[in-house]
């Protein structure tokens, strides 16, 4: 295993983290405790896979030693050979799992929570309705993986759609499970209002932003312009008689964030600042890692409007991911939150490309 030394170091780091987390001084520092706990949680799949691989290696060596004995009963020899074949399969599976875990561990955002922004693009009300479809899909997908979702802001339309919806996803693996969703999602279907039954094509943009804490992105209050206003919504929804909605403008970057889903101005401000920090952090990452961003865009696309990443065709019950050329005839299942076949295929594609580039 060519990365054995690296795995040994990661195993030692995990052991050191376990000891550190047992220190009463660390448990009292909530922010530090959470940071170390997240790091340990990210290392565990690597360490557990490495331990299992080494156990299979030891068992294999023992079996080969037994098979080398000259006077072996034929039935016993066949049993040992079958066990050896099974161990070889186990080793290959563990190597694949370790490689996937290593790729996740090497991603600085792997253990972060995320903020997801879904916005209607071309297609008017039909695009807004598809925003609602994707929002429901992501909420169900997150729930299946024991992740929590929290609406940060939304702009509903009168027919059940959203011009935009921004929500947070928290829990182990949030970024890893959702990072491939950034980009343009295209939908092809017959709108409910279309009497002639013509298929319309609409587009929705999705951006997945890693969430950061206050220590990672420090924002000077002097750089903020904060406006408060009355929340609004279609059909009287989310309407307040008080000025609880908040709009924050970050003057140095020009980034503007609005939040009106809470009835408390204080809560809306707190949520808006979380979104603002995530956007600033994402922009800084792009600026600092131009080459990495270019490689990632080539592999799995990005959150800009460079091109469609996926098409959802309702007449054919088909979903096609254009980045890897994968087509699945399981549209209802996917929109019901069963994104795993797409995500796993994208992860395999990314792993193969990274390992090829590293060779």
3-state SS of 305-344 is CCCEEEEEECCCCEEEECCCCEEECCHHHHHCCCCHHHHH
pTM here is: 0.69
Q: For domain 114-215+300-358, is the CATH number 3.30.70.1660?
A: yes
pLDDT at position 283 over 70: yes
Task: Determine the average pLDDT of the residues in 234-251.
Answer: 69
Distance between CA 127 and CA 74 in Å, rounded? Answer: 68
Distance between CA 46 and CA 105 in Å, rounded? Answer: 8
Structural tokens at position 244: 């609880």
Domain 221-286, CATH: 3.30.160.20
- In Å, how far are 138, 159, 162, 268 from 153, measured between CA atoms? 15, 18, 11, 9
Task: Determine the average pLDDT of the residues in 308-334.
Answer: 96
In this predicted model, what pLDDT tens digit does every residue of 129-176 receive, in sequence order? 999 999 999 999 999 999 999 998 899 988 889 999 999 999 988 998
Structural tokens at position 299: 């592999």
Strand, helix or coil at 249?
Answer: strand
Count of helix runs (H) and strand runs (E) in the chain: 10, 11
Extended strands (E) in the chain: 114-120, 148-156, 162-170, 183-189, 200-210, 224-229, 245-250, 255-259, 308-313, 318-321, 326-328
Sign of the CA dihedral with 262 first, then 172, 185, and 102 last = positive
pLDDT at position 238 over 60: no
Extended strands (E) in 18-136: 114-120
What are residue 189's DSSP bridge partners?
Answer: 200
pLDDT at 288: 59
Distance between CA 331 and CA 202 in Å, rounded? Answer: 16
Distance between CA 127 and CA 188 in Å, rounded? Answer: 10
Average pLDDT, the chain: 85
Q: How many C-beta atoms lie closer than 10 Å to residue 325's C-beta?
A: 9
Of residues 260 and 287, more confidence is placed in: 260
Helix ranges (DSSP H) in 188-315: 265-288, 290-300
Structural tokens at position 242: 């008080």
Q: Are 125 and 157 in contact (CB under 8 A)?
A: yes
In this predicted model, what pLDDT tens digit does every residue of 216-225 receive, in sequence order? 788 888 989 9
Distance between CA 56 and CA 108 in Å, rounded? Answer: 30
Residues contacting residue 25 through CB under 8 Å, at least 6 positions apart: none
Least confident of 93-107, 155-169, 314-328: 93-107
Token look-up 């307040």 returns: 240
């Amino acid at each position: 295993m060519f990365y054995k030394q690296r795995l040994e170091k990661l195993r030692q780091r995990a052991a050191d983290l376990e000891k550190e987390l047992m220190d009463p001084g660390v448990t009292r520092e909530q922010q530090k405790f959470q940071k170390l706990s997240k790091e340990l949680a990210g290392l565990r799949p690597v360490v557990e896979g490495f331990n299992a691989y080494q156990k299979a290696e030891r068992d294999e060596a023992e079996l080969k030693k037994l098979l080398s004995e000259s006077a072996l009963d034929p039935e016993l020899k066949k049993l040992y050979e079958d066990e050896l074949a099974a161990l070889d399969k186990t080793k290959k599976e563990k190597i694949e799992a370790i490689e996937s875990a290593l790729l996740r561990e090497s991603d600085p955002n792997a253990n972060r929570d995320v903020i997801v922004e879904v916005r209607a693009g071309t297609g008017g009300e039909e695009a807004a309705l598809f925003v609602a479809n994707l929002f429901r899909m992501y909420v169900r997908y997150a729930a299946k993986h024991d992740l929590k979702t929290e609406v940060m802001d939304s702009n509903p339309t009168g027919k059940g759609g959203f011009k935009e919806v921004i929500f947070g996803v928290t829990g182990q693996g949030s970024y890893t499970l959702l990072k491939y969703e950034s980009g343009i999602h295209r939908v092809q279907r017959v709108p409910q209002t279309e009497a002639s039954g013509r298929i319309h094509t609409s587009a929705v943009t999705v951006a997945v932003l890693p969430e950061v804490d206050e220590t990672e992105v420090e924002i000077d209050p002097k750089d903020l312009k904060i406006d408060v206003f009355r929340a609004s919504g279609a059909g009287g929804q989310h309407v307040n008689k008080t000025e609880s909605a908040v709009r924050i403008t970050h003057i140095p970057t020009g980034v503007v964030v609005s939040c009106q889903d809470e009835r408390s101005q204080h809560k809306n401000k707190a949520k808006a600042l979380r979104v603002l920090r995530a956007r600033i952090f994402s922009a800084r990452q792009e600026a600092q890692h131009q080459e990495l961003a270019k490689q990632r865009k080539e592999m799995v696309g990005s959150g800009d409007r460079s091109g469609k990443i996926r098409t959802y065709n309702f007449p054919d019950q088909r979903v096609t991911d254009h980045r890897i050329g994968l087509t699945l005839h399981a549209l209802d299942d996917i929109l019901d939150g069963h994104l795993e076949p797409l995500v796993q295929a994208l992860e395999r594609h990314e792993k193969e490309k990274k390992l090829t580039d590293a060779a």
